[in-house]
Structure formats: structure tokens, C-alpha cells
């Protein structure tokens, strides 16, 4: 990979009270510079940057990403504080306001100039339609990107630059050279003379300097904060009920809206019969929108109860009879009829198939999945005096602010976004998944007081933007000795994550093509995006290849990964830790899968048995992850545990089906989740390769499904080619003799 220049333009500005702000911009003339000028004329205390040092020696780090449990506020601050040589005890962490100074755009732009649109953004649906200019106005937390981009290109650079400036100021004051000075715990020291100054005492001077254009970052050996497991700053508020989520917004005078959407996606509201709903206690109004009807009342429960009594008619549509079976039949037709578009064409797969001693075929499919974040979707909007205030949990505060302002008919500068924690994101709270935002704004337009629109769990499940249902058909060709000659794969699109269907294995002839998989069901990024299904497909089929060739699935992978030492390493670490090849308890088997996604490489080994009720029991998952290196190792482990359980829920139970054009599932009993009783022991091993930082929020999700079904195959002789596993019957067991 081309080396990324760390050259960045930094900007300082003075704070009243003798502080200094350090920001950075990847381009010149920068928005930071322009805005600093503007804002300096307007207000003295306006915070304009990533890092603030005050006279009392406190350092404030402004984090432009949403905290949804991934520990990003802590990790990013650690990166800035370490480069600054700050005393962690003196570091305060604040959510950056949703103003465009804090857009991720600068970071993205800096990156895009050298590499094009970063691949994590390609994970968003319709990203191809976004112009780079629009990207600049997003404040996205997604694609496992925060630490990799904002951290590496923003936080560390700002910290290092500030440190250099503070040293320069101290050296000038003492009449010594900068080289003679050292820094530690928010102080500059001149060891020869025993003098030292606190950063706070130097901040006013530093504000007058031009920041260095190419600050020197630390070597990992010099880290004092990064690499340590540090307690997350967001946790204390999450154990005493004081953490605020979007749903907890309570501006004065607020009303509540409960909404009924058109059940069949894309249809419109025809009529409403309110009956005596308006006479019910607390009910204020009924709002009819193009595709929905809402009841607004003085409490959410009153609004919801009233909505139940209201009858409504939605238009009929050609989709009213569509079922999941029809959708899969459409996929089969596309796969049979279409040549599709090229993902990979290498060698001559057709010739290899014809000359092969043996060919195997297997067809896989996965259903739609809902995000089901724990906090149901909600948005509170107050439109007043040509201004708008918005409260919602989002992965893109700035984008939401712009969206709400536009719908409210208010200038973006007159929109205020109120931050909160997210009760889970997983892609549901990314740009384009705007239904609750749009509807909440349209409803609030009818009132002068704030209105909080809340989707019930049922609404949330039935009006999501889903992980797509996908079908994927494979063929593999072998020579007489069982060596794989060719890999042939056709799957239904769209491609949301380029590269997810690629395989790392050394197979000379490969033909991978994608055919049309469009349906009327809205889709979006879902934790790990296309990797969630593609890894199940490819890592299952590789396993099929191994068994057909009479080879050990672990050994076959190692052999075919000669060119991928990082993949081999995580496989070996996981295998060793899981006791692969050693004696297991009676009736247990190990299944393996490995996948690279979002810059991290993850191997997972599931230890599984078939329980007394004929259901698979996952006893333990051993995971090795190479994420380059770890900023906060405990956070890495937590994210891996989380990702595995998220993937396990999908593999075991996850299934959104379509009946009569609409989603058949309602709430958790019919969209079951892994719970304490079904949650395995998880053993995480971090492999530090020292390569570029990889993502953490998503990469542990993809491998678990195949690791589990590969173990089930050994235990039962049944190859699970359709998820979820709960739909399969394992009452007749025919274990495979292991190689």
C-alpha cells in the first residue's frame, strides 16, 4: 500500500484566558481557517478544533464521532493525548458539536485525494451517487473508520503538533534549543537545568505560533497511553441511568407521535377513519402524511393506544402478494439467465471446469435481516421562529442536521443538533436510512412545540432498511489429486462492499460475477455490510472443497494462504488457542472461518455440539484478530465479543421474511436474539502485526456463521447452506470422519 503522507496543515487560534486550540485541515485553503476567521469575529469562546489546551493545564479533546458503545470517545482521545504527552488525568473529552468544522470531510478529502473514495464509505448504499462534495458535509461514524481515519490522520497529528509548539515556546522562554527539552505528563522539561513548565503556562504563547506542517509522530515504543487498556469514559453514566439517548430527550412542552407506516414498502396512504380517537385523553391531532398516519398526544403511550383504534387504508400495489419465496425465485431466475457483471475474472474458469476430474456445486442463500438496535428509532424536532432543534441518536449528526433543516424549510445555520449516546447503530443510524428523521420533521412542522416521534419495536422491525437477502451459487473444479483448479461464483447484488466476495485463497482460475438482486425491500449497510453474507458463503464453500478433496479444512486453508501471511498467522493463533487437532469433549467439533474486512483479519473457531433438543450449542468461540495494533486492547476485545454475538444471533435465528409484500416479523419473540443462556465463552487473541490500523466495530461479525456451520457439518453430516440455523432439523446425525 502506498504510504500515506502525514503532512497536514494545522491551525491554531487563541482562546480567551490564554489557551490554545489546535486543529488540522488536510487541504488549503481550509474550512477551518475560513471558519476560524469568521467565528473569531463572532464569538470568543467558540471552540473550533480537535484539541484545546487551557491555562489551568486541562486538555479538552473534541471527538467528531458518535459514541455507540465502541469506545470511540476514549480511543480517539487516547491518540491525541499520547502524542501530546498529556497527563491522562487532565484530559477532558467532549463530543464535537455538529457544525461543519468537525465534519469528517476534511479527513475523507485528504484521504480521497490520494486514494479515491475510501472503501469504508463504499459500504453505504448509493455511495456511488454521492458526490465528493456531499461527503464533505457528513459526520459519519461507520465503516469501522473512526480510529483509522480521524484517529490516525486527525487526533495523532493534532497532538504531535501541539506538543512540538509547546516545546518551542518553552525553549524560547528558557533560551535553550528545542532538542534539549522533553515532555511528560503535560509538562515541558529542561533536564539540564531542572526547569519545567506546565502546558497551561505555555498555551497562550503557543497560540501565536504557526503549527508545524509535518509534525513527527511517535514510534510505538514511545507510547505511554496508546496500547494500554484504559477505562472507557462513557461507562460510568451507563450504570446509573444518567446516560442520555435520543429517546430520552425532554425539551419543555414536548408532545409525542406514534406513527403507522404503509405496511407494503413504497405504497401510499389513501384514507383515515379517526373514529373518536381525537376525543381520547391527551390526543392532540392526527397527522396524515404521504405514506403514513400519526397520532400526536401528550404522552407516547396515549398516542400509541389511540393509533391502535384508528383505521386507515393504504393503496394496493403489485407487491401486495410478494413473498420471500417469490423473491428467492426471482434470484434463481437472475442467476440462471443473467451473465451479470464482473467482480473477478482470472484465468480460464470454463476451460478448467471442462478438463476437471471432479466438479462440485453448491447453492447458498441468506434472508433479510433487521438491525434491531436496542434503542428503537426516534427523533425529536422543534421548529420555532425560523429555527429548528433536533434530538436524535445518529451515526451522522451533521448530515441529520442538514436533512432536518431542509425538510423544515430552515437555513442550515439555524438548525441545532443536540447530541446523545446511541442505543446501538449497526448501520441503521447511517445516512440514507432516514425514514424516522423525515417523518418526525414533517410531523413537527405541524406544531410549535417539540414533537418526539417514536417507532415502536414493531415499527422498527417492519420499517427498517435491511441487510439484503442474497443467493450465491458456487462451483469448484478439482484435478485428479484433489487440488482446486477453479472457483466459480454467481451471486445476487447489489454490491455494497466491493471486495467482500473475493477470496484470499490461491486458486488460479476464478470467475466471480454479480447478477441483479433488486427487490422492493429497502436495504442498507448492516454491521459488516456484504461481509456478513459473503463470508458465510465463501468460508462454507472452501470448507466443502476441503472435505471433498479429503483434506483437513484448517490445513487446506493454510496451504492456499501461502501469499497471505497475516491470514495464516491469525488462523494459526486461533487454532493453537482453541486446541485444534487435540482431543475435544465427546460430541464436540471445531469449525473454522477466516476473513479480512475493514482492514482487520479475523479467524474464528467455534466449538459446537448438538444439544439434547437437537439444536446446536456453541460452547466457545476462539478468535484471533490482526487489527494492525491496538489502541485500547480491552475495547478491541469488547468489540470482538460484540461482533461475534451479533453474527451468532444472525446465524442462529436472524430472519426477516416477506409475506404479502410486507415484513412478517414483529418483535423479539419472532426475531430472536442470543441471550445469556445461548451466549458462548469467547476467547480473544490480538495479533499485533504493526500494519496499518484496522477497523474493530465490524470485522468480528463475518466469520462466525461459517465457523458454526462448518462445525455442524462435522457433527451431523449436514451442510447448512441457508441461514438461519434454527430452520434446520438436526435430529438425524451422521457425523463426518475427521481428516
Partner 1 sequence: MATFKVNGFEKNLDIEPDMPLLWALRDELGMTGTKFGCGIASCGACTVHVNGRAVRSCTTPVSAVEGQDITTIEGLAAMAAGTNASVPNLTAVQQAWIDHQVPQCGYCQSGMIMATSALLASNPNPTDAEIDSNITNICRCGSYPRVRRAIRSLANA
Residues that bind partner 1 (CB under 8 A): 68-70, 231-232, 234-245, 247-248, 250, 256, 281, 299-301, 372-376, 421-426, 454, 456-457, 634, 638, 641-646, 649, 667-669, 673-677, 679, 681-682
Instruction: Give the nearest distance from C-beta 237 to ligand FES in angstroms.
Output: 13
Instruction: Give the nearest distance from C-beta 228 to partner 1 in angstroms.
Output: 13
Fill in the per-residue mask, 161 to 200: x = in contact with ligand FES (CB under 6 A), - = not in contact: ----------------------------------------
Which of 4, 270, 374, 739 contacts ligand FES by CB under 6 A? Answer: 374
Query: Which partner, partner 1, ligand FES, none, binds residue 234 by CB below 5 to 8 Å per kind?
Result: partner 1
Q: Is 510 left (phi over 0), alpha (psi -120 to 50) or beta?
A: beta
Instruction: Give the nearest distance from C-beta 681 to partner 1 in angstroms.
Output: 7
Bridge-based pairing of strands 415-418 and 387-391 is parallel
Instruction: Give the nearest distance from C-beta 18 to ligand FES in angstroms.
Output: 41
User: Among residues 2, 165, 738, 96, which one has the least CA distance to residue 396?
Assistant: 96
Q: Rule CB under 6 A: say whether 69 interacts with ligand FES.
A: yes
Which residue's C-beta sits nearest to ligand FES? 374
Q: Rule CB under 6 A: say whether 376 interacts with ligand FES.
A: no
Query: Which partner, ligand FES, partner 1, none, binds residue 290 by CB below 5 to 8 Å per kind?
Result: none
Is 303 or 561 the residue whose CB approaches ligand FES more closely?
A: 303
Neighbour tally for 633: CB within 10 Å: 16
Query: Which partner, partner 1, ligand FES, none, binds residue 243 by CB below 5 to 8 Å per kind?
Result: partner 1
Query: Which partner, ligand FES, partner 1, none, binds residue 679 by CB below 5 to 8 Å per kind?
Result: partner 1
Query: What single DSSP character describes residue 459?
Result: H
Cell of residue 82, nine digits: 499520547
Query: Which partner, ligand FES, partner 1, none, binds residue 432 by CB below 5 to 8 Å per kind?
Result: none
Query: Which partner, partner 1, ligand FES, none, binds residue 247 by CB below 5 to 8 Å per kind?
Result: partner 1
Burial class (CB in 10 A: 0-12, 13-18, 19+), 222: exposed
Instruction: Give the nearest distance from C-beta 69 to ligand FES in angstroms.
Output: 5
Cell of residue 623, nine digits: 478468535
Exposure string of 716-735, with b = 16+ CB inside 10 Å and e = fewer, is bebbbbbbbbeebebeeeee
Strands across the sheet with 616-626, in order? 589-597, 600-610, 616-626, 681-686
Size of the site for ligand FES (CB under 6 A): 3
Is 99 or 370 the residue whose CB approaches partner 1 more closely?
A: 370
Instruction: Give the nearest distance from C-beta 392 to partner 1 in angstroms.
Output: 14
Neighbour tally for 171: CB within 10 Å: 17
Query: Which partner, ligand FES, partner 1, none, binds residue 256 by CB below 5 to 8 Å per kind?
Result: partner 1
Instruction: Give the nearest distance from C-beta 423 to ligand FES in angstroms.
Output: 6
Q: Strands (DSSP E) along 26-123, which ranges?
A: 51-53, 59-63, 91-95
CA dihedral (124, 139, 421, 529) in degrees, to 10, reads 10
Bridge-based pairing of strands 509-515 and 484-492 is parallel
Query: Which partner, partner 1, ligand FES, none, binds residue 92 by CB below 5 to 8 Å per kind?
Result: none
Is 170 or 306 the residue whose CB approaches partner 1 more closely?
A: 306
506 Cβ contact list (under 8 Å, min separation 6): 560, 561, 562, 563
208 Cβ contact list (under 8 Å, min separation 6): 12, 14
Instruction: Give the nearest distance from C-beta 669 to ligand FES in angstroms.
Output: 11
Is 159 or 647 the residue whose CB approaches ligand FES more closely?
A: 647
CA atoms of 23 and 626, how far apart (whole Å):
31
CA dihedral (206, 209, 211, 215) in degrees, to 10, reads -70
Which of 97, 424, 616, 703 contacts ligand FES by CB under 6 A? Answer: 424
Query: Which partner, partner 1, ligand FES, none, binds residue 299 by CB below 5 to 8 Å per kind?
Result: partner 1
Q: Rule CB under 6 A: say whether 517 interacts with ligand FES.
A: no
C-beta of residue 520 within 8 angstroms of C-beta of residue 319: yes
Binding residues for ligand FES, rule: CB under 6 A, are 69, 374, 424
Amino acid at each position: 500500500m502506498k504510504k500515506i503522507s502525514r503532512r497536514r496543515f494545522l491551525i491554531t487560534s487563541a482562546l480567551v484566558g490564554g489557551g490554545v486550540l489546535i486543529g488540522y485541515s488536510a487541504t488549503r485553503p481550509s474550512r477551518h481557517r475560513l471558519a476560524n476567521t469568521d467565528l473569531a469575529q463572532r464569538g470568543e469562546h467558540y471552540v473550533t478544533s480537535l484539541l484545546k489546551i487551557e491555562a489551568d493545564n486541562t486538555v479538552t479533546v473534541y471527538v467528531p464521532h458518535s459514541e455507540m458503545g465502541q469506545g470511540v470517545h476514549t480511543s480517539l482521545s487516547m491518540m491525541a493525548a499520547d502524542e501530546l504527552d498529556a497527563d491522562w488525568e487532565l484530559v477532558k473529552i467532549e463530543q464535537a458539536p455538529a457544525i461543519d468544522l468537525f465534519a469528517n470531510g476534511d479527513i475523507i478529502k485528504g484521504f480521497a485525494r490520494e486514494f479515491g473514495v475510501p472503501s469504508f464509505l463504499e459500504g453505504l448504499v448509493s455511495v456511488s451517487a454521492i458526490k465528493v462534495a456531499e461527503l464533505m458535509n457528513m459526520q459519519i461514524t461507520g465503516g469501522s473508520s473512526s480510529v483509522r481515519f480521524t484517529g490516525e490522520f486527525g487526533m495523532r497529528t493534532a497532538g504531535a503538533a501541539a506538543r512540538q509548539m509547546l516545546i518551542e515556546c518553552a525553549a524560547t522562554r528558557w533560551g535553550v534549543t528545542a532538542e534539549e527539552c522533553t515532555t511528560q505528563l503535560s509538562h515541558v522539561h529542561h533536564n539540564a537545568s531542572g526547569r519545567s513548565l506546565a502546558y497551561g503556562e505555555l498555551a497562550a504563547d503557543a497560540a501565536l505560533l504557526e503549527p508545524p506542517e509535518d509534525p513527527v509522530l511517535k514510534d510505538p515504543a514511545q507510547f505511554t497511553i496508546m496500547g494500554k487498556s484504559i477505562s472507557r469514559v462513557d461507562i460510568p453514566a451507563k450504570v446509573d441511568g444518567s446516560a442520555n439517548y435520543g429517546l430520552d430527550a425532554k425539551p419543555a412542552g414536548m408532545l409525542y407521535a406514534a406513527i403507522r407506516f404503509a405496511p407494503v414498502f413504497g405504497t401510499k396512504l389513501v384514507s383515515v377513519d379517526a373514529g373518536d380517537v381525537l376525543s381520547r385523553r391527551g390526543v392532540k391531532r392526527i397527522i396524515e402524511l404521504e405514506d403514513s398516519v400519526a397520532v400526536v398526544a401528550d404522552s407516547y403511550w396515549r398516542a400509541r393506544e389511540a393509533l391502535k383504534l384508528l383505521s386507515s387504508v393504504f393503496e394496493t400495489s403489485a407487491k401486495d402478494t410478494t413473498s420471500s419465496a417469490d423473491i428467492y425465485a426471482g434470484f434463481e431466475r437472475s442467476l440462471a439467465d443473467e451473465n451479470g457483471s464482473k467482480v473477478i475474472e482470472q484465468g480460464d474458469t470454463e476451460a478448467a471446469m471442462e478438463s476437471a476430474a471432479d466438479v462440485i456445486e453448491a447453492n447458498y442463500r441468506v434472508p433479510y435481516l433487521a438491525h434491531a438496535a436496542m434503542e428503537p428509532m426516534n427523533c425529536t424536532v422543534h421548529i420555532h421562529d425560523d429555527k429548528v432543534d433536533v434530538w436524535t441518536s445518529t451515526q451522522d449528526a451533521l448530515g441529520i442536521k442538514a436533512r432536518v433543516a431542509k425538510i423544515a424549510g430552515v437555513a442550515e445555520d439555524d438548525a441545532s443538533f443536540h447530541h446523545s449516546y446511541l442505543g446501538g447503530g449497526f448501520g441503521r443510524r447511517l445516512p440514507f436510512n432516514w425514514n424516522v428523521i423525515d417523518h418526525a420533521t414533517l410531523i413537527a412542522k405541524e406544531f410549535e412545540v417539540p414533537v418526539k416521534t417514536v417507532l415502536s419495536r414493531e415499527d422498527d422491525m417492519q420499517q427498517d432498511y435491511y441487510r439484503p437477502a442474497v443467493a450465491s451459487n458456487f462451483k469448484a473444479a478439482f484435478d485428479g489429486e484433489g487440488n482446486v483448479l477453479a472457483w466459480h461464483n454467481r451471486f445476487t447484488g447489489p454490491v455494497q462492499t466491493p471486495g467482500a466476495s473475493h477470496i484470499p485463497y490461491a486458486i488460479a482460475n476464478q470467475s466471480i460475477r454479480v447478477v441483479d438482486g433488486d427487490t422492493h425491500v429497502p436495504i442498507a449497510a448492516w454491521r459488516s455490510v456484504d461481509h456478513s453474507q459473503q463470508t458465510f458463503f465463501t468460508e462454507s464453500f472452501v470448507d466443502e472443497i476441503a472435505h471433498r478433496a479429503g483434506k483437513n479444512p484448517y490445513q487446506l486453508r493454510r496451504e492456499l494462504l501461502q501469499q497471505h501471511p497475516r491470514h495464516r498467522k491469525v488462523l494459526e493463533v486461533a487454532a493453537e488457542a482453541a486446541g485444534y487437532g487435540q482431543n475435544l469433549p465427546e460430541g464436540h467439533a471445531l469449525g473454522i472461518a477466516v476473513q479480512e474486512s475493514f482492514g482487520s483479519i479475523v479467524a474464528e473457531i467455534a466449538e459446537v455440539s448438538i444439544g439434547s433438543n437437537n439444536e446446536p450449542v456453541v460452547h466457545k468461540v476462539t478468535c484471533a484478530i490482526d487489527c494492525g495494533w491496538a489502541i485500547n486492547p480491552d475495547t478491541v476485545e469488547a468489540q470482538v465479543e460484540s461482533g461475534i454475538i451479533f453474527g451468532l444471533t444472525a446465524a442462529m435465528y436472524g430472519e426477516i421474511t416477506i409475506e404479502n409484500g410486507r415484513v412478517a416479523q414483529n418483535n423479539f419473540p419472532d426475531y430472536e436474539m442470543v441471550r445469556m443462556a445461548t451466549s458462548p465463552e469467547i476467547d480473544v487473541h490480538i495479533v499485533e502485526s504493526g500494519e496499518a490500523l484496522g477497523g474493530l466495530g465490524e470485522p468480528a461479525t463475518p466469520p462466525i456463521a461459517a465457523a458454526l456451520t462448518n462445525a455442524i457439518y462435522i457433527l451431523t453430516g449436514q451442510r447448512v447452506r441457508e441461514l438461519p440455523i434454527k430452520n434446520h432439523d438436526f435430529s438425524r446425525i451422521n457425523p463426518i470422519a475427521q481428516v
